Amino acid sequence: MLSKPDEHGKYGIYGGKFAPEVLMTALEELEEAFSRVNSDKSFRSELSSLLSTYAGRPTPLYLANNLSEMSGAKIYLKREDLVHGGAHKLNNTLGQCLLAKHMGKKRIIAETGAGQHGVATAMAAAVLGMDCEVYMGTEDVERQKLNVFRMKLLGAKVNPVDSGSKTLKDAINEAMRDWVANVENTYYLIGSVVGPHPYPLIVREFQRVIGKETKEQILAAEGRLPDVIIACVGGGSNALGIFYEFLEEKEVELKGVEAAGKGLETGDHGASLCAGTEGVLHGMYSKLLQDEHGQIKQSYSFAPGLDYPGVGPELANLAESGRVKMDCVTDTETLSAFAILSKKEGIIPALESAHAVHYAIEEAKRRGKGSLVVVNLSGRGDKDTFIVAEAIGDKN
Amino acid sequence: MTLEETFKKLNIRNEKALIGFVTAGYPTADATSEIADALIRGGVDILELGLPFSDPIADGVTIQRASEISLRAGMNTDIYFDVAAGIKGVDKVCLTYYNLVLQRGLEQFVSDCESSGIGGMVLPDLPVEESKPLLKICEGYETDLIFIIAPTTTAKRMAKILDAAAGFIYVVSLLGVTGTRDTVSDTIQPLIKSIREQEVSVGKEVPLAVGFGISQPEHVRTVCAFADGAIVGSAFIKLIEEELDSRNKMLQRIENFTRSLKAGTKIA
């Protein structure tokens, strides 16, 4: 493996376990349990059966003809928006819920930003018969009402978090506080490749399926690997999920797209890799948005899943080594890609994924005919219709 | 005086240590100096001065709220050290989160601690595994890195922590975050006992102070029956919160409360 963490859970200088002492034993147990089940045939087959019969995998790799014609290069969409629940998040929550069950835990807690991870956790907990509580910033509760209602329908308890910036980072803080208090019976199901070791590793392993399928599908369709793979980056789970299988295929360029929000120069963005500095947050050493004293800054993006002032340590390491190239896209650019994909292909993308779609269209124009571009369409946009309506309304 | 000397001195007087925590800059930076003086008049042995962080994952609502207010009022690491340096006549410990230490630079932070008379640092998100770089720097200064032991800490981890420990050990009395509780957790006595046993087996003795949920004189008395000190935090913040309208009344109540807590540390 090209990007394996060392014994301290570090990827280069990034990662590690900067967690309260109360949690250290639980993290050690989690690491052992994960390495046990990850090589266990019956666990793998149980998970793989859930992924195919419940989650709807494999997801299609769709050649977006109309979009390609408009742009130049061929654009393929990896349709993670078709996973049950409407995003790639379920790949991870099914894996971790099953892991929790194997560890004998009965109660699942999770944080959520856009609500997609919360919904996916609620689904996995429901199907595997576990109790579920989800922490969500009050600002996100407001922006993503539909997902809040879905979580409740799925039997989860949603706990609004009113501290700090009232978004994803504060939901993570609160979930960690819950875990500290209930570590003996509770499993904390982190939704992205962030947090203390072994979470970044666990989440990446459960999301790898995206890239594995993509590789087989593109080879079947085109007889060769793509020239570039593009994914949006908040914490980084859909990006690492699709990139990982291609890390050693040097001819395949890997590009991550962060939220430039209102523009990097305004300070209102979520671009931890493009504009952040090194530090420790949520148990990991990574790239963060912070002031000169180390206080964490409020991130911004109209896509709640990208509204996070940190990023996964493995991705930080891959970006530093140059294997993954990072760029960022503003709210306004995203909005235009959101409209184009909806009208040209009949697919309403999640605002998070629409960042990657915008970048892919530009990339396809630059590269022209004969090139192959793959985009991870990590989620569907039903949840975002109100945000988009408001954004368009503001303009008119 | 080093922290360990303070514990020794108290021991000779048949006393345990009362460690009082307040968030620096709550409600304002000048209030902190006056609040510290009230604690000192009340007899606090060690003042734990919190440098607030935007994302305090080990803290309950009371200290979270105080941290937010302090930061909004402009508290930062530079001001913190100025405030800390101005507080005299008591041992001081800094409680903060690792990112603030990292961003100042490890050596600069420790050196600023030393020159402000801060004898120790408690960093709830820096476990022993990640502590090597900072420990190495502490060797050159009179500021100790204070480690935490929790009810979930295994014997193996305890041995590692004891090996690195200096000043005192912050024993977390319960599974949870900071905040007042009605009773002292009954896990604490067996936990102290197993740490002492571990101390014997590694041949190193470090004072043990118990914190989290200790908020009443009775709690202090209970804890001091078997530990070397008691740490009270959220109860002070709550008291400050209640008296934001009257500085004099606030200071008087802090002094009286400290005195009543301190009484619980004296062995009859």
Mean pLDDT of B4-18: 97
Residue B268 above 90 pLDDT?
A: no
Mean pLDDT of B103-114: 98
**3-state SS class at A60:** coil
Instruction: Assess whether B205 carries a catalytic annotation.
Output: no
Mean pLDDT of B158-172: 97
A324 touches chain B (CB under 8 A): no
A288: closest chain B residue by CA: B99
d(CA A193, CA A200): 4
Q: What is the pLDDT of residue A1?
A: 46
Confidence of residue A3 (pLDDT cuts 50, 70, 90): low
Residues of B in contact with A183 (CB under 8 A): 152, 175
Burial of residue B238, with CB atoms counted within 10 A of its CB: 0-12 exposed, 13-18 middle, 19 or more buried: middle
Confidence of residue B193 (pLDDT cuts 50, 70, 90): very high
Q: How many CB pairs under 8 A join A and B?
A: 118
Q: How many CB atoms lie within 10 A of CB A355?
A: 36
d(CA A175, CA B57): 9
* CA proximity to B50, closest of B149, B118, B150, B114: B118
Q: Please give the full DSSP string across B213-244, using - where no structure is assigned.
A: S--SHHHHHHHHTTSSEEEE-HHHHHHHHHTT
Please give the helix or strand (H or E) that residue B158 lies within, else none.
helix B155-164
The rounded percent of chain B whose pLDDT value lies above 70 is 100
The residues of B whose Cβ lies within 8 A of any Cβ of A are 53-58, 60-61, 64, 68, 71, 76-78, 97-104, 124-127, 129-130, 147-154, 157, 161, 172, 175-177
d(CA B268, CA A207): 62
Interface mutation vs chain B, best among A10, A13, A18, A161, most B CBs within 10 Å: A18
A16 touches chain B (CB under 8 A): yes
A13 touches chain B (CB under 8 A): no
C-beta atoms of A20 and B125 within 8 A: yes
Instruction: Assess whether B4 carries a catalytic annotation.
Output: no
Helix pair A209-222, A199-207: axis angle to 10 deg: 30
Four-residue CA torsion sign, A268, A271, A277, A283: positive
Burial of residue B203, with CB atoms counted within 10 A of its CB: 0-12 exposed, 13-18 middle, 19 or more buried: exposed
Of B54, B97, B153, the CB nearest to A21: B153
Confidence of residue A10 (pLDDT cuts 50, 70, 90): very high
Residue A210 half-sphere exposure, CB side, CA atoms within 13 Å? Answer: 35
Residue A284 above 80 pLDDT?
A: yes
Residues of B in contact with A181 (CB under 8 A): 175-177
Q: What value does the mean pLDDT of chain A take? A: 96
Residues of B in contact with A163 (CB under 8 A): 61, 64, 68
Residue A99 above 90 pLDDT?
A: yes
Residues of A in contact with B57 (CB under 8 A): 20, 173, 176-177, 180, 282
Of B57, B78, B127, the CB nearest to A21: B127
Residues A87, A241 contacting (CB under 8 angstroms): no
Residues B257, B235 contacting (CB under 8 angstroms): yes
Residue A36 above 60 pLDDT?
A: yes
Residue A396 above 80 pLDDT?
A: no
Residue range A229-272, pLDDT digits in tens: 999 999 999 999 999 999 999 999 999 999 999 999 999 999 99
Give the distance between the most distant pair of CA atoms in chain A: 57
Q: Please give the full DSSP string across B89-157, using - where no structure is assigned.
A: SSEEEEE--HHHHHHH-HHHHHHHHHHTTEEEEE-TT--GGG-HHHHHHHTTSS-EEEPEE-TT--HHH
A169: closest chain B residue by CA: B55
Mean pLDDT of A71-95: 98
**Minimal C-alpha gap between A292 and chain B (Å):** 7
A282: closest chain B residue by CA: B57
β-pairing verdict for B118-122 and B91-95: parallel
d(CA B206, CA A79): 58
**3-state SS class at A258:** strand
B127: closest chain A residue by CA: A21
A16: closest chain B residue by CA: B130
Burial of residue A362, with CB atoms counted within 10 A of its CB: 0-12 exposed, 13-18 middle, 19 or more buried: middle
Torsion angle of alpha carbons B100, B104, B106, B108, nearest 10°? -140
Active-site residue among B4, B15, B30, B48? Answer: B48
A280: closest chain B residue by CA: B99
Give the distance between the most distant pair of CA atoms in chain B: 52
A292 touches chain B (CB under 8 A): yes
Tell me the three-class secondary structure of B40-102, residue by residue. Answer: HHHCCCEEEEECCCCCCCCCCHHHHHHHHHHHHCCCCHHHHHHHHHHCCCCEEEEECCHHHHH
Q: How many CB atoms lie within 10 A of CB B117?
A: 17
d(CA B172, CA B174): 6
The rounded percent of chain B whose pLDDT value lies above 90 is 93
The rounded percent of chain A whose pLDDT value lies above 70 is 98
Beta bridge partners of A285: A15, A280
Which structure tokens are listed for A237?
């789970």
Q: What is the pLDDT of residue B34?
A: 98
Q: Which ipTM did the prediction report? A: 0.96
Active-site residue among A80, A111, A139, A333? Answer: A111
Mean pLDDT of B105-130: 98
Within its chain, how far is the Cα of A116 from the centroid?
A: 10
C-beta atoms of B152 and A24 within 8 A: yes
Burial of residue A8, with CB atoms counted within 10 A of its CB: 0-12 exposed, 13-18 middle, 19 or more buried: exposed
C-beta atoms of A21 and B71 within 8 A: no
Residue range A179-196, pLDDT digits in tens: 999 998 999 999 999 999
**What is the per-residue burial (b if ≥16 Cβ within 10 Å, else e) of A113-122?**
bbbbbbbbbb
C-beta atoms of B54 and A296 within 8 A: yes
Of A17, A169, A177, the CB nearest to B177: A177
The answer to whether the pTM exceeds 0.80 is: yes
Task: Walk me through the domains of chain B, giving residue ranges and CATH numbers.
Answer: 3-263 (3.20.20.70)
Q: Please give the full DSSP string across A319-342, using - where no structure is assigned.
A: HHHTSEEEEEEEHHHHHHHHHHHH
**What is the per-residue burial (b if ≥16 Cβ within 10 Å, else e) of A52-90?**
eeebebbbebbebeebbeebbbbbbbbbbbbbbbbbbbb
A263 touches chain B (CB under 8 A): no
